[in-house]
Amino acid sequence: MKLQEYRSKEILARHGVPLLAGEVATTPEEARGAAARIGGPVVVKAQVLVGGRGKAGGVKLAATPAEAEQRAREILGLDIKGVTVRTLLVAPAADIAKEYYLALILDRAAKAVTIIASAEGGVEIEETARTSPEAILRLPLDPLIGLQEFGVRRVGFFLGIPAELRRDFASVLRGLTDAFFGTDADLAEINPLVVTQTGELLALDAKIVLDDSALPRHPELEAMRDLNEEEPAETAAREAGISFIKLDGTIGCMVNGAGLAMTTMDLVKLAGGEPANFLDIGGGAKADRVAAAFRIILDDPNVRAILVNIFGGITRGDEVAHGIVEARSTLEREVPMVVRIVGTNAAQAAEILRQANLITAESLDDAAAKAVAAASGAPGSA
């Protein structure tokens, strides 16, 4: 789950990272009020969960409250990479002397949380990563010891932090690290971290991405979720207790168990098809959950066929079969469905599916082949 800049800043501030917090506004008038309370020049910033807001015109300076209102009017409603801006952050403007990039990421290849730092911070960091990777430091943290003093110094020297700011830099890096581990994040990023004309170190932008699997440990962070920017299908899946990840193919998969879902996707690919999603309906799937899963799958207009693969253990096959038949009658869109149910009460399940005229399959290979044929509209397949 990605957190908006103002939320990420809230968390960093709590961990002692110096920044100019500002106020959230949703109308031009509120932005004006915020600017008046702040006093002096402000920066008006679109709060959307996509990068490159600056380049897209979503970050603007304003010298007066009236100008802040005007800038807010320009930014609200703006479309940034497909997301409409509804919320703004109005913060005191900083006079930037130098911009740095500083982040912690969970680097799966390095099997370690890794510090990423560059003295070429700002809006061109992706370009820097491509053209001059040597300008970027990657420092993996020892998983048992974490951030050590020499690590802080190494990053500070690499960035060329001025001597008088090294202590402040240490608290920024420590604060960022504490925020990362304290929230179970996958990413905690400050870009840019700046030195101002008056020699202050400040985090001007912040981005925290949380590990969804750790969210149950952080109810206060769950409350920071921005439903405005979540795929409706993902919201529906989460609320129904279904693990769902949208993909780009045409074959919707409804499976119980994450391992079986992965296997099913592999076999769809082996049969020459492309899965439209990963979907684990979970244990003991009842009719309403099956129906929710179908709606989520069919919400994707690319889906041309659905492959249902259920292994009945605790989950009873006949109950799932009933669920499928019931759910199918409530669906708005019809696509061919191939169903494989094995395990507990498989025979009863097969009978129910046969009576409902659903395509069934004995083996998983067979099911995948039938689904691929159905999705490509092969004659006689549906």
Which is closer to ligand GDP, CB of 53 or CB of 370? 53
Instruction: Tell whether residue 191 is a contact of Mn ion (CB under 5 A).
Output: yes
Query: Which residue from 18, 33, 54, 162 is in contact with ligand GDP, where contact means CB under 6 A?
Result: 54
Q: List, in order, residues 6 or more apart from 239 with CB less than 8 Å away.
A: none
The token pair that represents 116 in the structure block: 């990423």
Taking a C-beta distance cutoff of 8 angstroms, is the pair 47, 88 a contact?
Answer: yes
Instruction: Give the C-alpha separation, 198 to 333, whole Å.
Output: 62
Choices 89-97, 126-134, 336-344, 367-375 (CB under 6 A): range interacting with ligand GDP: 89-97
**3-class DSSP assignment, residue 25:** strand
299 binds, among ligand GDP, Mn ion, none (CB under 5 to 8 A by kind): none
Q: Which ranges in 102-257 belong to alpha helices (H)? A: 125-131, 149-159, 166-182, 219-222, 232-240
66 binds, among ligand GDP, Mn ion, none (CB under 5 to 8 A by kind): none
Instruction: Tell whether residue 43 is a contact of ligand GDP (CB under 6 A).
Output: yes
Instruction: Tell whether residue 96 is a contact of ligand GDP (CB under 6 A).
Output: yes
Taking a C-beta distance cutoff of 8 angstroms, is the pair 313, 343 a contact?
Answer: yes
Which is closer to Mn ion, CB of 7 or CB of 340? 7
Nearest distance from C-beta of residue 191 to Mn ion, angstroms? 4
Positions in 197-226 near Mn ion (CB under 5 A): 205
Query: Which residue from 15, 53, 289, 304 is in contact with ligand GDP, where contact means CB under 6 A?
Result: 53
**DSSP letters spanning 273-328:** --BSEEEE--TT--HHHHHHHHHHHHTSTT--EEEEEEEESSS-HHHHHHHHHHHH
The token pair that represents 94 in the structure block: 């900083």
Size of the site for ligand GDP (CB under 6 A): 18
Instruction: Tell whether residue 51 is a contact of ligand GDP (CB under 6 A).
Output: yes
Which is closer to ligand GDP, CB of 96 or CB of 119? 96
Instruction: Tell whether residue 52 is a contact of ligand GDP (CB under 6 A).
Output: yes
Taking a C-beta distance cutoff of 8 angstroms, is the pair 179, 147 a contact?
Answer: no
Taking a C-beta distance cutoff of 8 angstroms, is the pair 322, 353 a contact?
Answer: no
The token pair that represents 128 in the structure block: 């820097």
Which is closer to ligand GDP, CB of 5 or CB of 280? 5
Q: Which of 5, 67, 99, 101 is catalytic?
A: 101
Taking a C-beta distance cutoff of 8 angstroms, is the pair 136, 107 a contact?
Answer: no
Q: Reduce the secondary structure of 26-54 to three states and give it as a string.
A: CCHHHHHHHHHHHCCCEEEEECCCCCCCC
Query: Which residue from 67, 186, 205, 299 is in contact with ligand GDP, where contact means CB under 6 A?
Result: 205
**DSSP letters spanning 120-156:** S-STTHHHHHHH-GGGEEEEEPBTTTBS-HHHHHHHH
Which is closer to ligand GDP, CB of 140 or CB of 199? 199
Per the listing, tokens 């159905």 go with 374
Query: Which residue from 88, 93, 176, 372 is in contact with ligand GDP, where contact means CB under 6 A?
Result: 93
Which is closer to ligand GDP, CB of 22 or CB of 336? 22
Which is closer to Mn ion, CB of 42 or CB of 358? 42
Choices 43-51, 290-298, 322-330, 369-377 (CB under 6 A): range interacting with ligand GDP: 43-51
Taking a C-beta distance cutoff of 8 angstroms, is the pair 320, 314 a contact?
Answer: no
101 tagged catalytic? yes
**355-374 CB burial, b ≥16 within 10 A, e <16:** ebebbbbeebeebbbbbbbb
Q: Which of 5, 67, 69, 189 is catalytic?
A: 189
Instruction: Tell whether residue 94 is a contact of ligand GDP (CB under 6 A).
Output: yes
234 tagged catalytic? no
Nearest distance from C-beta of residue 292 to ligand GDP, angstroms? 35
Nearest distance from C-beta of residue 230 to ligand GDP, angstroms? 19
Nearest distance from C-beta of residue 310 to ligand GDP, angstroms? 44
Q: In terms of Cα–Cα distance, which of 334, 279, 331, 286 is closest to 309?
A: 279
Catalytic residues: 101, 189
Q: Which residues bind Mn ion (CB under 5 A)?
A: 191, 205
Q: Which residues bind ligand GDP (CB under 6 A)?
A: 43, 45, 51-54, 59, 61, 93-94, 96, 99, 122-123, 191-192, 204-205
